[in-house]
Amino acid sequence: MMRRHARAVALALAGLACSTATDSGPPPVLLLGTWNYTGAETSSTITLSGTLTVTSQSGKSLMGSAAWTEDDGVGGTTPLSGPVTGRALDSTTVNFDVFLASATRHHLGTVKADTISGTWVDLTSGGPGASGTFRAVLGP
């Protein structure tokens, strides 16, 4: 009898683990398209300018790419680009990661009409790195 009870509990717990929310169904907010991306690093004069492109969206999940140039304010520029994965958490909140060669840049933004604005932080193997703000406006 005890084994049957333990097995029933184990099966119930396994069922709960498998019943987590999936990414099926309509997205909470449509983010497909090319967004004009600008940003700034908090602790320096570095500014960012480029694009964020969301190429696919399924349920809450999104995928795409980003490419921008970092301008150090004294004539130096660095082009950066990488794939993007993320989630539309609800109809006004999105988080996504840009996988750059040197770090993963994590973004958390608020969606309002055709604009996403928020913050970013570089995540490296040594922990959080540079951080800043960003704004992306959906292009025509």
Reply yes or no on whether the pLDDT at 103 is more than 80: yes
3-class DSSP assignment, residue 27: coil
- Region 2-138: CATH code: 2.40.128.120
> Which whole number is the average pLDDT over 94-98?
98
The answer on pLDDT for 55 being more than 50 is: yes
Q: What is the pLDDT of residue 10?
A: 33
Reported as a pLDDT band with limits 50, 70 and 90, residue 18 is very low
pTM across the whole model: 0.81
User: Which percentage of the chain shows pLDDT scores above 70?
Assistant: 83
| Cα 32 to Cα 53, 139, 140, distances in angstroms | 7, 11, 12
Cβ-based neighbours of 74, under 8 Å, separated by 6 or more: 45
pLDDT at 22: 54
Domain boundaries, the chain: 2-138
How far apart CA 59 and CA 97 sit, in angstroms, is 17
